[in-house]
Amino acid sequence: MLGSAVLLLLLAQGSPAQSPPDAPLNVVTEVPLHIQGARVTLDARLNGQGPFTFGFDTGASGEAWVTQALKEKLDLQVVDRIVVSDGSRVKGRSTDVVRIDSITLGSASFNRLTAPVLGDGPRKEGEPYGTLGFELFKNYVLTLDYPAQRLRIATGQLPVPDGQRVLAYRIDGGSPHVRVRFAGVEVDTQIDSGNVGGILMPPSLANKLPLAGPLEKAGRVASALNEFDLFRAELDGDLQIGDVTIARPTLFFSDLVQTPNLGRNVLRSFAITFDQAHQRVQFQSPAR
């Protein structure tokens, strides 16, 4: 859940062809998602070298972030310096921006990019070399298939949103936000694959939602830049995401977020497909 944007905009001539509502997607490539505990990673090549392990974060603005270790390993050229934020109200910090000639996933290649540098110290064993952001895939239909442990990149489009199987979303801070219902209360909510926990809420909503009991201290939660107190309570009702129902989920509250946030403990039950050109999203469970 990191701020600051670095954009890649590919312009097409004319209007794109419209697929029939139920036309199958045309898969360009797919790569494994490596799921080990709370960590979900994939392998990518940078500037023809690697592969290197990366995280993937729909909650991170921009196309990619790299670590200081990867910057030094590949001798990436610094082209700018910007201030980055974690989405909280806490002041951000200044960091280098480097140029990347190409990022390659399977047979899909993304060229002429820039990426902020995150982290100062040496890379720990097993840690990713960076994070790929949602905007990297803005010209494709992207599926995060957690049950099958695959990430698929395709062309085509999802059907028109019906509020049940296919939902409309909006982009805020470079990440997708969708309307869901917490015990009947409709709330704009971020889809955040970079949140390794469950449902993270701003404390301001604790008095606006029906909870089964008072907030309990649940420890601390950290972003890449800051750390915050964490509280929890069970929702006195169900969470509804289109036609998906999650019964009486546990909600976590922290000043880290300003809007509700669906994290990986919720997302991992689904194959989630994003049609970025039309801002549509579909949640599918293996049973469906």
Q: What pLDDT is stored for residue 11 in this prediction? A: 24
CATH of 28-140, one of 3.40.50.720, 3.30.1360.200, 2.40.70.10, 2.40.50.1070: 2.40.70.10
Q: For residue 87, what pLDDT is reported?
A: 57
β partners of residue 250: 234
- Please tell me the predicted confidence (pLDDT) of residue 225: 62
Check: CB of residue 135 under 8 Å from CB of residue 61. Answer: yes
* Residue 14 confidence (pLDDT): 32
Distances (CA, A) of 86 to 92, 193, 227: 7, 15, 10
pLDDT of residue 36: 82
Q: For the chain, which residues make up each domain, given as ranges? A: 28-140, 166-284
pLDDT in tens, the chain (288 residues): 333 332 222 222 233 334 444 557 999 999 999 988 778 899 999 999 999 999 999 987 789 999 999 999 999 999 988 776 655 555 667 888 999 999 999 999 999 999 999 876 667 777 899 999 999 999 999 999 999 999 999 999 999 999 999 999 999 888 899 999 999 999 999 999 988 889 999 999 999 999 999 999 988 777 656 678 899 999 999 999 999 999 999 999 998 888 899 998 899 999 999 999 999 999 998 755
- This prediction has a pTM of 0.84
For the structural domain made of 166-284, what CATH number should be given? 2.40.70.10
In angstroms, the CA 110 to CA 102 distance is 5
User: Are 82 and 100 contacting, i.e. CB atoms less than 8 angstroms apart?
Assistant: no
The span from the CA of 147 to the CA of 286, in Å, is 7
Do the domains 28-140 and 166-284 sit in the same CATH topology, yes or no? yes
Spell 15-51 as b/e; 16+ CB within 10 A means b.
Answer: eeeebeeeeebeeeebbebeeeeeebbbbbebeeebe
Query: Which pLDDT score is estimated for 84?
Result: 67
